[in-house]
Amino acid sequence: MSLTVARVEPSIAGVGDYIELMKPRVMSLVVFTALVGLLVAPGHVHPVIGLTALLCIAVGAGAAGALNMAFDADIDALMTRTAGRPIPRGRVTAGEAAGFGMTLAAFSVVTLGLLVNLVAALMLGFTILFYVVIYTMWLKRSTPQNIVIGGAAGALPPMIGWAAATGGIAVEPVLLFLIIFFWTPPHFWALSLYRAEDYARAGVPMLPVVAGDRETRRQILIYTLLLAPLGVTPWLLGYAGATYGLAAAAVGAVMIALALRVRVERNGHAASKQMFAFSILYLFLLFAMLLVDRMSGLVFGHFAL
In the chain, DSSP finds a helix count (H) and a strand count (E) of 14, 0
Q: According to the binding rule CB under 8 A, does residue 55 interact with another protein? A: yes
- Cβ contact 82:76 at 8 Å: yes
Q: According to the binding rule CB under 8 A, does residue 304 interact with another protein? A: no
DSSP classification of residue 138 = I
**Residues in 2-31 at the binding interface with another protein, rule: CB under 8 A:** 9-15, 18
Tell me the CA distances in angstroms from 193 to 146, 150, 221, one per residue in order. Answer: 15, 18, 13
Neighbours of 260 (CB within 10 A): 16
Closest contact distance (angstroms) between CB of 5 and another protein is 17
Q: According to the binding rule CB under 8 A, does residue 46 interact with another protein? A: yes
Q: According to the binding rule CB under 8 A, does residue 242 interact with another protein? A: no
Q: According to the binding rule CB under 8 A, does residue 102 interact with another protein? A: no
Nearer residue to another protein within complex by CB, 54 or 290: 54
Amino acid occupying residue 230: L
Q: According to the binding rule CB under 8 A, does residue 264 interact with another protein? A: no
**Residues in 165-224 at the binding interface with another protein, rule: CB under 8 A:** none
DSSP classification of residue 23 = -
**Residues in 105-144 at the binding interface with another protein, rule: CB under 8 A:** 107, 111, 115
Closest contact distance (angstroms) between CB of 283 and another protein is 29
In the list 24, 26, 52, 229, the residue contacting another protein (rule: CB under 8 A) is: 52
- Cβ contact 245:236 at 8 Å: yes
Closest contact distance (angstroms) between CB of 111 and another protein is 8
Q: What b/e string do you get for 154-178 counting C-beta neighbours within 10 Å, with b at 16 or more?
A: bbbbbbbbbbbbbeeeeebbebbbb
DSSP classification of residue 136 = I
Q: According to the binding rule CB under 8 A, does residue 49 interact with another protein? A: yes
Nearer residue to another protein within complex by CB, 86 or 173: 86
Where along the sequence are the contacts to another protein (CB under 8 A)?
Answer: 9-15, 18, 46, 48-49, 52, 55, 107, 111, 115
